Structure formats: structure tokens, C-alpha cells
Structure 1
Amino acid sequence: MPALASHRKPRSRTAKPSHAVGFTTAALAGVTLLSTQSATAAPAEPKPSIEEVQKKVDDLYRQAGSATQEYNKAKEATAEKRQEVDQLLDQAAKRTEKLNESRRALGNYAAAQYRTGSVTPTAALMFADSPQAYFDQTQLMDRMTDQQRTAVAEYETERAAAAKQRAEATKRLESLTDSQEALRTSKQTVQTKLAEARTLLSKLTAEEKARLAAIERKREEEARRKAEAKAEAEAEARARAEAERQREERETAPDTGTTDPGTGTGTGTDDGTYAAKADKVLAFARDQIGKPYVWGATGPSSYDCSGLTAAAWKAAGVDLPRTTWDQVKVGTRVATADLLPGDLVFFYDDISHVGIYIGDGKMIHAPKPGANVREESIFYMPIYGSVRPA
């Protein structure tokens, strides 16, 4: 029997499709696809810390401040160039009238020559590019009267001057166009930077905003402590100066017979005139406290930082340039330790901010968008340098 069994035809086994197996295969394929996509997809960027947000926002405001100075510079240049173009156009109009008068004079001579039958040379003169060149070539100048020669000379002079003015006006118009483009670009840059700062702040949760406020308070407290230390140093310096003044008065009293305590300056420096101007500057600046910062503004209802400093010193009869970059170049440079009320203090390496020193380590300034003109420690921002404008 076993031999017979070996000749049996093997039973054919055909596997039926299994829904369970099909589902599992599809699931595995899906997992593989998702795994591949996950492996190739860029990892999500980590959320910035509150400290990073604060640093970024501060930097954006600083960049906006720098762009504001670019805007102020472009705006000033645009106004100057527009005035130059208007003047040139006015001069060109007057020159054109003079040219027309010269042309009418030549026309009168042409009419006179027509009546005498010699129209051809004059007609050629009227249509020539250069009357002077025409007469030189034809030697007609020898046959003209002095009055006719004068008319031709005047026409030639006016024509050349008009051509020169047209060329200059064209050049100035091109320069004006460039300034207007720079104005638009800097304006867009300011708006972009401020929008980025607002977007960053708007994404913070209530808890994150509270933490950011705490960081800001810590920063303000540190700046306040530094201002207090400077105020103490200034008070000590004033006390030493007063003691020295009194000592000198006692020593000189027997020789001069004067004991008037009001003869000294109180500071040991010849700053009486400057102090008088500074008083006017500070009085004006204090009157602006509470008014909003608006970039590009010069008052009277709002200011940017350099707009406020320029307006304050204008009240003391001193004209300052419009931008921080130019204001830092006026007057005399002074060290932070030697600051007097009225001095201008500049901030950041790009000199994008400025305030008016009021003494005791404090200043009045227009801080940034969303804030009002206020008193604040000069140590709130990194100091670039200081100047005494007058």
C-alpha cells in the first residue's frame, strides 16, 4: 500500500484572498509612507524663549529707529530737492520769456529785411541752430548794425542759458525721483519692522506676557540703580565744587574785601550761557512729556526721538540737524561722567536713538512706537556717546 500512495497526485492548494491580510498590508504600507514622510519633513522650529522674544522685539524697534532716521534724512533731502526744482523751473520760465523777447527782436529785423527785399539770409538766420554760427559763416555780421548784432548776441546768450537750465532741471528732477524712492523704501522698512514686532508680541500667551513684563521691570530696575549711582556721584561733585569755591572766597576775601557768596559759578566751569540755554531746552522738553512717539514726527502734538531734541534746542535758539546721525556731529563731545543738563545722549552702535540729559542719570526722550515722551534712566539702553550742542 505504501507504493500505491507514492503515485497519488498531490492535492493542489490554492490560497483564497484574505481580507485581514490585505488590510494589514495596506496598513503597513501606510505606516511605511508616513515614516518616510516624517523622515524627510523638516523638524518644527522650537518656540523661542521669552528672553529671545524680548531681544528680538528690542532689536526690531532699534532697526525701526534706524530706518526712521533714514526716512527723516530722505524726507529732508526730498524737500530740499523739490525746492531746488521749483526754483529752477521758475528761473527757466523767466529765461524762456527773455528768449522769446530776443526771438521777437530778431523777428522784427527779419520783417524789416523782408520789406527791403533781403529775406533769404534772415530766414536762414531764423531757422539756423546757431544764429552766431550762421553769421560767422556767411560774414553777414559785417553788414549788420550794432543794434542787430546786440539782438543776435542776446538771443544766443538766452538760448544757451535756457538750454543749460533745462539740463540742470532735468538732473535735479532725477535726483528728486531718487530721493522720493529712498523715502518710500525707508517708510516701508519702518512699517515692516514695527509689524514684525507687533506680530511677535501678539503670539504670546497671557503667562508669557507676564514673564516678559517681569523681565522688563528687572531691566528698568537695573537702569534705575545705575542712574541713582550717577546722581550720587554728581551730588558729590557739586559738593566738592561748592566747598572749593567757598575755600577760594575765604582765601581771597582779605585781599579783595569781598565776601559775596554768589560770585562763583557753582560748577567750576564757565557754563553760565550754556546753563541758560539748557534751562529753556529742559522747560520745553518737560512740556512735551506725555505726548506720543510717532516716527517721522517733529511736533507739536507728537515726536520721534530726534524730532524732540531738535524742537527742544530750537526753543533755546539753536538749530540742530534733523537726524541723530547729524546731531551727534554738532557741538562738543563729552564723557558720560561729565554730562550736564541739556546735553544730548546717543544710544546703540548705529546711533539710532537720542535723549536730552536732565541730570541725576536721567533723560527726557521719545522712546518708541506705543510709548509717550517720558523721563527715563540713560542706562536703559547702551550709550554710544554724548554731545554738548552749544
Structure 2
Amino acid sequence: MASHRKPPPAGTRAGIRTPALATAALTSVALLSQTATAAPADDRPSLEEVEKKVDDLYRQAESATDNYNAAKEKTTTQRGRVDALLNDVAQRTQKLNEAREELGSFAAAQYRTGASAPDTATFLLADSPQDYFDQTQLMSRMTSRQKGAVDDYVTEQSATMRKRQEATDSLRTLTKSQDDLKAAKATVQKKLSDARNLLSQLTAEEKARLAAIEQKKQQEAARKAAELARQQAAEQKAQEEAAAAAAQQQEQNSSSSSGTSTGSGTATSDSSYATKAAKALAFARAQIGKPYVWGATGPGSYDCSGLTQAAWKAAGVDIPRVTYDQVNAGTTVTLAAAQPGDLVFFYDDISHVGMYIGNGMMIHAPKPGAYVREESIYYDGESAIHSVVRPA
């Protein structure tokens, strides 16, 4: 018997979609796939944003480095104080024990001779030997040596208790400083890690573009340095001409006088500073090529303030360890009046410092991953310069 089922429509097979439906479905899938792939790209920061973020992180790390350096210096000082106090307490405790033994021998002798009651042993347990002898009215029968021993014991006991309390307080402060030191170190490491992670995500093309941006910044910084050098040269020439004119006028005015003029104190002072600055600069130049390492003070590596401190120390001038103390360790001068050896400070938080060498240039330890080098003081733009200080 023939089947009554209807044959399928022409151009179709059972279980297979029509070509039109299949094409529409594939098109939808492709569009969704493209949308899903393209979406994350919109959230990716631009190269300029990455550069700014990295620069900000390096600056924050340098500021945190100063906090680390200050905490480390404070911890070192407090550790020395605690060690001295503990040594003092140990010596006083030894003296206290010796005084106690001597007093014990007196009490034992009095007991054997019957000069005191059998409970003389409680003498050593009393809060104060002086109180014990007052209460038992033995002071009147004691020799001058025995009285002296009691006085020494009481004095030493009081002093030892004070020193022990002082040592305890200093240890507590030291522990707080050590905690601050760990926190500052962790902050620096976190900032540097974030900066490295951002840079590692750049493609080869982006790194090349970033290098081109940096080169353009260096060229602009060099142009500004040359402009400052011309300005300073013109000002120097004007000062020399004014000084020569003043000297000539003075010579004419005193031609009929037998007296001789003396040199100015300012000239002598400038000469003395130039001599010290030359020594500091010679030291700084010898460090060129050594790596920047945060918290380092040499001789193999430096951070920015570690380099300037070491350089001026080589010239016989002691300046503080961190930038925000160094900025107050001298006389502030204008940028136009800057001389070789002066310290140039950067940013509102005074987190960076370099040593001026003239012609708008400085020697500094720039940042992690870089080396001590000569560079324009405009390396991060004119607005980055905070102040100039003459430290000696």
C-alpha cells in the first residue's frame, strides 16, 4: 500500500535548516563574536595615559623613598639610644647587686652579734633599706661605712628604676619606628611594581612611540637649558662690567689718597663656596653610570638625596639625608643666580633633587632602572622645578 505521508518541500531535507536561516544565524554569531572581542579594547588606556601613570608612580615611589630614608635614619638613631640605655641598665643592675650583697653582709653580722632581731632577713625584702633601718632604729648604731652603703643602694635603686623605664619607653618608640620603616618600604615596592606592570603591558610599537615621546621631551629640555645658559652668561657679563666700572670709579676717586681698598667679603665667600662646590661636583661626576637604587647612599648605587649628601660630604659639608630636610640646609637663590654645586629641588612635595653643574644642566640619580647621569634641569618641564638652594 502506498504511504500517505506528504513528501518534504522541494529544496529541503529533514533536520536541515534552509540556507537563508543558516546564513542569518552565522551572521549573528559573527557579529556577537566581533562585539565581544572589540569591547575590551575600548577600556584600554592610551599611551599618553600610561606614560603619565608611570611617571606619577615613579614620583610617588621617590616620595615614599624619602619617608623610608627618614624612618631608617630615625630607627638607627633610636637603636643606638636603646643599646646605650640597656648597657647602662646592666651596669647599674650590677652595682645594685653589689650594694645589696654588702647590705646583706651587714645585716648578717648584726644578727650574729645580737644587735638586731632575728627578722633581719626581711631587710632584703623591704621596699627601701632606708625605711627598714628607720623603722628598727638601727641607723644610730650603724657605722659611717654602713650608712654610706645604704645611701648608695637607695640612690642606685632609684636611678636604675628610672633608666629601666626610659629603656622600656625607647624600645616602644623603636618598635613604632620599625613598623613605620616596614610600611614605607612596602609602599615603595608597591609603586615600583605597579609601574613595571604597566610598562610590561605595552606592545613593541607602543614602546617605540613612548621612546619617541621621551626623546622629544629631552630635546625640549635641552633647548630650555641652553636658553638658561645664555641668560646666565648675559647676567654674568653685566655683573662683571658693573664691577669693573665700579672699580675704575673707585680708583679715580681715591687717586689722591694713600689708603688702599680691601676686597669685599662677598668675593671671599664666593671663592670659598666655589672651592667646596668643585670638590662636591668632582665626586658627583665620578658616580655617573652607577645605578639608582632607592634608599642607597653609595658607594655602588644611590638614590637622589643619597647622591647629593655624599657629594657634599666629600667637600667637607654635612647636609641632611632626605630632600625635604636638604631643602632647608642652606640659602635659597633664584634659578637665574644658580651656581655649580647648588641643589635643585623638584615638585611640590620636594621629592627629587639634583646638583647643578651650570648651563642649565645637573647631575642626578633619576629613578629606578636609570643610572646617575648629567641631564637638563628641565627634564620634566619648567613647572617641575621647586627651588634652588646653596648648601655652604
Give the TM-score normalised by the residue count of structure 2: 0.84
Alignment pair present for 1:317 and 2:316: yes
Distance 1:120 1:334 in 2: 82
Change (3 A) 1:75 1:348: same
Aligned to 1:209: 207
Question: Which one of 129, 142, 145 corresponds to residue 144 of structure 1?
Answer: 142
Distance 2:303 2:370 in 1: 10
Q: Shift of the alpha carbon at 1:152?
A: 1.1
Distance 1:45 1:109 in 2: 92
Aligned to 2:111: 114
Q: Shift of the alpha carbon at 1:275?
A: 1.1
Distance 1:377 1:264 in 2: 35
Corresponding residue SS for 2:164: helix
Question: Which one of 222, 225, 242 corresponds to residue 224 of structure 1?
Answer: 222
Distance 2:148 2:354 in 1: 63
Letter in 2 for 1:318: V
Distance 1:293 1:329 in 2: 24
Distance 2:248 2:208 in 1: 59
Distance 2:300 2:244 in 1: 46
* C-alpha contact 1:110 1:119 (8 A) present in aligned 2: no
Aligned to 2:9: none
Q: Shift of the alpha carbon at 1:250?
A: 3.3
Q: Deviations over 1:159-180 (max 9, x none)?
A: 1111111111111111111111
* C-alpha contact 1:245 1:264 (8 A) present in aligned 2: no
Aligned to 1:372: 371
Alignment pair present for 1:64 and 2:61: yes
The count of aligned residue pairs is 354
Distance 2:336 2:292 in 1: 28
Change (3 A) 1:204 1:269: farther
Q: Deviations over 1:240-280 (max 9, x none)?
A: 122223323433445459xxxxx989x97951111111111
CA RMSD of aligned residues (A): 2.7
Aligned to 1:47: 44
Change (3 A) 1:186 1:297: same
Change (3 A) 1:238 1:217: same
Distance 1:354 1:279 in 2: 18
Corresponding residue SS for 2:62: helix
Q: Shift of the alpha carbon at 1:144?
A: 2.5
Letter in 1 for 2:389: V
Q: Deviations over 1:274-333 (max 9, x none)?
A: 111111111111111111111111111111000000001101111011100111111111
Residues 24-39 of structure 1: matches in 2 within 5 Å? none
Question: Which one of 65, 70, 78 corresponds to residue 81 of structure 1?
Answer: 78
Aligned to 1:279: 278
Question: Which one of 379, 382, 385 corresponds to residue 383 of structure 1?
Answer: 385
Q: Shift of the alpha carbon at 1:43?
A: 7.8
Letter in 1 for 2:323: T
Change (3 A) 1:256 1:330: farther
Corresponding residue SS for 1:333: strand
Alignment pair present for 1:347 and 2:349: no
* C-alpha contact 1:241 1:268 (8 A) present in aligned 2: no
Distance 2:227 2:356 in 1: 15
* C-alpha contact 1:342 1:356 (8 A) present in aligned 2: yes
Q: Deviations over 1:35-57 (max 9, x none)?
A: 9xx9xxx9886111111011000
Letter in 2 for 1:151: A
Give the TM-score normalised by the residue count of structure 1: 0.84
Identical pairs, percent: 61
Aligned to 1:304: 303
Letter in 2 for 1:94: Q
Q: Structure 1 stretches of 5 or more lacking a match?
A: 1-17, 258-262
Change (3 A) 1:217 1:269: farther
Which deviates the most, 288-297 or 248-257? 248-257
Q: Shift of the alpha carbon at 1:126?
A: 1.1
Distance 1:318 1:170 in 2: 36
Q: Shift of the alpha carbon at 1:208?
A: 0.5
* C-alpha contact 1:68 1:295 (8 A) present in aligned 2: yes
Letter in 1 for 2:74: A
Q: Shift of the alpha carbon at 1:188?
A: 1.1
Q: Shift of the alpha carbon at 1:219?
A: 1.3
Letter in 2 for 1:384: H
Q: Shift of the alpha carbon at 1:20?
A: 9.4
Change (3 A) 1:49 1:269: farther
